Amino acid sequence: MVKDLSVQLGGLRLKNPVIPASGTFGFGLELAGDMDLNVLGGISLKGSTREARYGNPVPRIADCTGGMINSVGLQNPGMDVLVNEKVPALRKIYNGAIIANISGFSVEEYRENCAKADACEGIDLIEVNVSCPNVHGGGLAFGTSAQAAAQVTAAVKEVCPNKPVFIKLSPNVTDIVEIARACEDAGADGLTLINTFLGMRFDIARRKPVLANTMGGFSGPAIFPIALRMVYQVAHACHIPVMGCGGVSSARDVVEMMMAGATAVQVGAQNLRNPFACPEIVSELPSVMEELHIDSLKDIIACI
């Protein structure tokens, strides 16, 4: 029997649930000459801010057992380049879901950036990264406060009448369900979780942190069980779709995430170790489904 890998996400039909996570796949264009992008269910583009950013000083990457720590610092060419150049170029060669990952350092910047993304014809879904520090609120990330996350969600929804809005949540919180519910109540169409954990490494020979920025985002297979737990908790507490993310590195991980409640699954750090990870996972899914007697992936969403 032919396996049905398709899913419905925020009103969009995806041919399969596999999506490269923001920051691990560039703008998709960089790999277009090496693989068929159209095997992917969607692509979450590199995070964009209002102005172009160079990012943090180097070194930005620290290797870890079971993962890596990065402190890239949202290096990107800015929103105008995203909507006027990157998305139109990708849309010419890619027919799947294009997801704009939007960052901001104030509620006003989130509104402005998301309004531009909503007006961009080639963008299908807006993913709002609330892990940025609130420059008007003492520097704490918007996503660490239910009230602040809800404020961003409501502000963005006001200027996004055309595209579904998913809020990407930080795991660096005491109760992720509280924040997820606050975003849902504020009008979010869906949630992406999780973003990276805050981590650090030391160079003991130099007696200094490995990263120039001291700390960064820890990702990779080591965080998968925690990400899975958070997806399970949020998917069973909320009534909006979830994109699961965090430590996914195989087709079996995708199935496990979906059983926990994810409608679609993002692959992050694994892309940096193996740029072909996502197409390989897509190609492996039917055999895993056959082994587990699954005919349609839609049937296993939140089945546990």
Residues annotated as catalytic (active site), given as ranges: 132
∠ CA 20-300-229 to the nearest 5 degrees?
65
- Sequence-ordered list of residues with C-beta below 8 angstroms from that of 121, at least 6 positions apart, any chain: 91
Q: Which two tokens stand for residue 215?
A: 């700390």
Q: Give the helix ranges, DSSP H, for the chain.
A: 79-81, 87-91, 107-119, 146-158, 176-185, 224-237, 251-260, 269-273, 277-291
Query: Across-strand partners of 243?
Result: 192, 264
What is the rounded CA–CA span in Å between residue 243 and residue 229?
A: 13
Phi, psi values for residue 202, rounded to 5°:
-110, 145
Directed axis angle between helix 251-260 and helix 224-237, to 10°? 30
Cite the beta strand spans of 3-52 per DSSP E: 7-9, 12-14, 18-20, 42-44
End-to-end Cα spacing for the chain: 24
Do residues 228 and 260 make contact, with C-beta atoms less than 8 angstroms apart? yes
Distances (CA, A) of 4 to 14, 93, 282, 286: 11, 24, 12, 8
Distances (CA, A) of 288 to 74, 236, 261: 35, 25, 18
Q: Which two tokens stand for residue 137?
A: 């609120």
What number of H helices and E strands is found in the chain?
A: 9, 16
